[in-house]
A and B are shown apart, each in its own frame.
Chain A
């Protein structure tokens, strides 16, 4: 029995290792490419161990040759704004969908999911003309709005499922104690669904952080670019400084990775919340 169990653990560990290698290799390659001078990239003596002596140099070049830090700041504003606005609206919408009966509730729920059925590329032309009329082109908060529109439905779904698990008695008890709907949402629901809220925060944050299509279409002014468009702009018609592209990619990945690590524990709890009783 013990032998079989050890074997099963061994096989599982091996499988996990293969998965880690598959997932980790692109990251390793990104670091390796960033540390290799462009000339060496196409030579036959490609390095396997990154040359970390170039670390400081490449980031210096990145920061001095391009407004990358500013773009990174813009990305943080757009992703942060998207997260805050999405969660605020999603909390209110999810509460209403979870606890109230009203005409058109089914239709409204369907409407939220319908937004996910259409590819973003399909909506870009109508959205562009709408943003032009509203004067939202070239504005970061315009990006926040459009990202929120696409990120919020997922958050609503996630939060509504979590709110459905909050016992009615807790809400009723709060009403007897003198809470109004807004207080119940703040004082009872939000602390009780915190794991799902963290999961929704991560999902909406990455939606805003990684978004490229709308950012490249709606923002023309270089100063208002976000990091994803800035990074893509390094790719030239005739030459591409690959070390710069990849060092930018490293810098672009780090804040997102930190945010994810901070939220990770809660996300796991959030994604599995309600799946098992108790």
Chain B
């Protein structure tokens, strides 16, 4: 049983607070993903779980045990580093066996010369040898056992790092952006392998990434972090369908969620000077919340660029960017009629909204259109705090 409890965990370096007041409970056997942009404190969080970084305040529990003061080894964890941290002077066999060998070390084995002797003896012990073979077989590394890490490809190195982490059968597996050094194809393959590993070993995984695709595809639970503060904790579906704030809404999803700054005027919502047709109901909801302005969020795939029909909400717009991806077409639009916006340099990407249209649709740039979306596709956020509003 290795549930994880973060209780008001904080980390600061002098006056600089990296993580403040982090609380969450992660059940046993969950695949928890810590997701956030670079520098948001997610790696620091993982290092605190591993015991590689001291906890400034708060308590961290594995099951019912407080582990704040325990060494990484005592916590019985495995850690896969972004750079893999394979031992370059050892063979793949010795790399994989190393945690197991250290488990069998007595205090006197740490003495010079004696240690080297013991390591080579333990490497030949039948039970350890069998375990290495079994692990190598599982990760298809049998042919590479006598090679050094520098003679392996990126994917093979990654697998050695994983093999080294699973051989000891730890209580918790920690991964620090393990796929970020791989190319797109290999990353997809390794995603599947790590997910399969989780299903097989049935242990708690904590996985740090800035890649939302990894988070959405692998995690059973996601913690979205920004600037050391937890933004949302939930299942991938919850986070996607009901983002807790504007940051989460824009961080998850590609292209990010479209946010329209809307104002209530004459019983309708206006984006700038452009009215949102059929928005009377939403305008009333915003007023009922005691607001005059609101951030209106709509996912790119919920937006259509066809002519308005029925009770769909719609905004006048013009196309600026068309990206044909084969299975779908991404169209970048700005609100207002053609020629109403500055569309060169930085101005070209500022205020751009995206629609994701299924199939190979023919759109031309710089032509007028209407952004349309259904009422149930709308998310409301407080324009000042960014928090989700429930009308």
- The reply to whether the CB of B200 lies closer than 8 angstroms to some CB of chain A is no
Chain A residues near B119: list those with CB within 8 A: 187
| Given A186-B112, A192-B88, CB of A177 within 8 Å of CB of B98 | yes
- The reply to whether the CB of B300 lies closer than 8 angstroms to some CB of chain A is no
- The reply to whether the CB of B256 lies closer than 8 angstroms to some CB of chain A is no
Q: Which of B51-90 contact A (CB under 8 A)?
A: 52, 71-73, 77-79, 81-83, 85, 87-89
- The reply to whether the CB of A8 lies closer than 8 angstroms to some CB of chain B is no
Question: Which of B73, B85, B112, B115 lies in contact with A178, CB distance below 8 A?
Answer: B73
Instruction: Place the interface of chain B in its size category.
Output: 20 to 34
Q: Which of A158-180 contact B (CB under 8 A)?
A: 167, 169-170, 172-180
Is B110's CB under 8 angstroms from A180's CB?
yes
| Given A186-B115, A187-B119, CB of A170 within 8 Å of CB of B73 | no
- The reply to whether the CB of B99 lies closer than 8 angstroms to some CB of chain A is yes
Question: Which of B77, B83, B88, B110 lies in contact with A176, CB distance below 8 A?
Answer: B77
Q: Which residue from chain B places its CB closest to the CB of A184 in the assembled complex? A: B110
Is B99's CB under 8 angstroms from A170's CB?
no
Chain A residues near B52: list those with CB within 8 A: 172, 175-176
Question: Which of A169, A180, A187 lies in contact with B81, CB distance below 8 A?
Answer: A169
Interface core residue of A170, A175, A176, A179 (most chain B CB under 10 Å): A176
- The reply to whether the CB of A188 lies closer than 8 angstroms to some CB of chain B is yes
Is A167's CB under 8 angstroms from B110's CB?
no
Q: Which residue from chain A places its CB closest to the CB of B47 in the assembled complex? A: A172
Question: Which of A167, A170, A176, A183 lies in contact with B79, CB distance below 8 A?
Answer: A176
| Given A183-B110, A186-B115, A192-B88, CB of A178 within 8 Å of CB of B102 | yes
Number of interface residues of A (CB under 8 A): 19
- The reply to whether the CB of A3 lies closer than 8 angstroms to some CB of chain B is no
CA A84 to CA B164, docked complex, whole Å: 35
Chain A residues near B72: list those with CB within 8 A: 172, 175-176
CA A167 to CA B105, docked complex, whole Å: 24
CA A187 to CA B109, docked complex, whole Å: 12
Closest chain-A Cβ to B77's Cβ sits at a distance in Å of 7
Q: Which of A246-268 contact B (CB under 8 A)?
A: none
Tally inter-chain residue pairs, CB-CB below 8 A.
Answer: 59
Chain B residues near A26: list those with CB within 8 A: none
- The reply to whether the CB of B50 lies closer than 8 angstroms to some CB of chain A is yes
Chain B residues near A186: list those with CB within 8 A: 112, 115-116
Q: Mark B139-165, 1 if CB is under 8 A from A, else 0.
A: 000000000000000000000000010
- The reply to whether the CB of A126 lies closer than 8 angstroms to some CB of chain B is no
Closest chain-B Cβ to A142's Cβ sits at a distance in Å of 26
Is A169's CB under 8 angstroms from B50's CB?
no
Chain B residues near A63: list those with CB within 8 A: none
Closest chain-B Cβ to A198's Cβ sits at a distance in Å of 15
Is B87's CB under 8 angstroms from A176's CB?
no
- The reply to whether the CB of B390 lies closer than 8 angstroms to some CB of chain A is no
Is A173's CB under 8 angstroms from B81's CB?
yes
Chain B residues packing against A (C-beta within 8 Å):
50, 52, 71-73, 77-79, 81-83, 85, 87-89, 98-99, 102-103, 105, 110, 112, 115-116, 119, 164
Extra inter-chain contacts (15) besides given A169-B83, A176-B52, A188-B87, CB under 8 Å:
A169-B85, A170-B88, A172-B72, A172-B81, A174-B98, A176-B78, A177-B98, A178-B99, A178-B103, A178-B105, A179-B102, A183-B102, A187-B115, A187-B119, A192-B88
